[in-house]
Structure 1
Amino acid sequence: MFHMREVKSENIPSDYRIPIRFITKDVGGACWLYVNLYHVESSLKTLALKFGNLSTNKANITIFITMLEGFRFTLDNDELEVTMQTFECHYRRGKWPTRRYFNHVKEVLTAAGSAMGKFQDCTPPPCQTPPAPPFTPGKSRQQNGMNGAIHGLLALLIIPSMTLLVLSVRMVFRRSRCCAQRMHEVNLNEPYDEAEESRTGPHSGAAQGDLDPSSSSQQDRAWLDSLGCADTEV
């Protein structure tokens, strides 16, 4: 018979919980030992680090690890890995008190001591799908209320921004319209000024000619000549 060495629980804090990944016997069936073997060995290695090198508990835990490793080396590693993968969805995580944890370790070591080193044919049960979360009307109403509040806040932020944008666009269009109107009035006034200058130019010249003293003297001289010509004929 396999003899389980004692691990002194008084050297472990009473509130300490040892983490373990496991599969229950009703799920593991004939492969229960093989799907728990590696995870028990890994958990013992983590636990051994909690004790000093001179601790009796560490020495006993190291013996457990050596025994599990020796049994695992007799198995086909590839077959062991495939078996663990087929049961992957059935693994559970727990943190057990000292007594429950070492009872589990003892069961695995006892099964390994009586095993023949060959895998048993076993088919894992189908994976369980997690249940859908229950419907809570109050939570749904609360979520709807939060969504409505968020939409209202967005509306308060968007509406002033849109109003400011519309006013800015209207001011830009108004300024461009005024500038276009002023340019049109300037273009209409330029031909009118040129026409005024063309009409007033000759008259002003004639007036200046009438006032010119040289032109008036020439007219007087022509009038005297005409008078002289009339006297000669008589």
Structure 2
Amino acid sequence: MVHMKEAKIGGCACVLVLLFSGLVACSGVFGSPLTDDVATLDTLRENIPKDYRIRIRYISKDVGGTCWVHLNLFPVESSLKNLALKFGNLSANRENITIFITMLQGLRFTIDNEELESTMQAFECHYRTARWSTRRYFDHIKEVLVTFASTPRQFYCTPPPCPTPTAPPVTADRRVIDRAIPGVLALIVIPCLAVLALVLRTVLCQRVRCVQQRHEETHDVEPQSDPEVSVEVSHNDSESCVLNNQRRAQPAVEDTGV
């Protein structure tokens, strides 16, 4: 088992040495251009549908300046890794993409990694993310590889000021939406007000009916005069009046008799 692991490690090391030696020979150290590997990009471009959109993060030349190539090395490598995951392990496209991933990693080894990382952080606000067509995507990768062959390994760049955020332009659709909002609100508010008015009217009517009903109930409870009782009372009063008159007449009769 140990010998097998050593053999595998040795084989991997040989492959990496061969890849790196070919990379150095093609990277411009000896002045030779990238030929065979770059031509593989054309094969990849033909094997992927033209209408396929590939996601990439990049910095344009006018912003990156002399550091344009260095700032795009790692974003291109990351984009190719994501693209390789779209294909199976036995796919020829994935195998060809892996070659360029290894190539870009080797290019990054030839420059100061800490300096590259600090420069990328300084330009962080200038990176843009887009989805490019297959042709534009692989043309960008080819340009990065070919330009790096004639670019010095030492670099120093001062980033321009970060762009200020701008308000999104008002489109025709947005204008239509802005005009439609008052109408929609009116359609919502007016029915709500009508329902509220109807509810208030119903409540008030119920209260008025309750007040009238209570008033009628109080009138029904009051005592009513009985005609028989009134007649009896008047009869008693008349009798009492006759008796009083007789009592007054008796002394006068007695006096005359004497």
- If the TM-score is normalised by the length of the shorter chain, which range does it land in? 0.5 to 0.7
Instruction: Give TM-score scaled by structure 2 length.
Output: 0.57
Listed as ranges, the matches of 1:93-112 within 5 Å are 93-98=130-135, 100-112=136-148
Listed as ranges, the matches of 1:164-183 within 5 Å are 164-183=199-218
Displacement of 1:29 after TM fit?
0.7
| 8 Å contact kept, 2:71–2:116 | no
- For residues 204-234 of structure 1, what are the alpha-carbon distances to aligned partners after superposition, in whole Å with 9 as ceiling and x for unaligned? xxxxxxxxxxxxxxxxxxxxxxxxxxxxxxx
Partner of 2:223: 189
Determine helix, strand or coil for the equivalent of 2:169: coil
Displacement of 1:174 after TM fit?
2.5
Partner of 2:11: none
Q: Which runs of 5+ in 1 are unaligned?
A: 204-234
- For residues 21-43 of structure 1, what are the alpha-carbon distances to aligned partners after superposition, in whole Å with 9 as ceiling and x for unaligned? 22221111122123212210011
CA 1:189/1:59 → structure 2, altered by over 3 Å: closer, same or farther? same
- Residue 158 (structure 1) aligned with residue 189 (structure 2): no
Distance in structure 2 (CA, Å) of the matches to 1:62 and 1:92: 22
CA 1:111/1:146 → structure 2, altered by over 3 Å: closer, same or farther? closer
- Residue 91 (structure 1) aligned with residue 122 (structure 2): no
- For residues 62-98 of structure 1, what are the alpha-carbon distances to aligned partners after superposition, in whole Å with 9 as ceiling and x for unaligned? 1221122233355335861562463434414131333
Distance in structure 2 (CA, Å) of the matches to 1:135 and 1:46: 34
Residue identity opposite 1:88 in structure 2: C
Distance in structure 1 (CA, Å) of the matches to 2:176 and 2:88: 57
CA 1:146/1:172 → structure 2, altered by over 3 Å: closer, same or farther? same
| 8 Å contact kept, 1:23–1:35 | yes
Distance in structure 2 (CA, Å) of the matches to 1:49 and 1:176: 81
Residue identity opposite 1:189 in structure 2: P
Distance in structure 1 (CA, Å) of the matches to 2:167 and 2:87: 41
Instruction: Give TM-score scaled by structure 1 length.
Output: 0.62
Which protein shows a greater Rg? 1
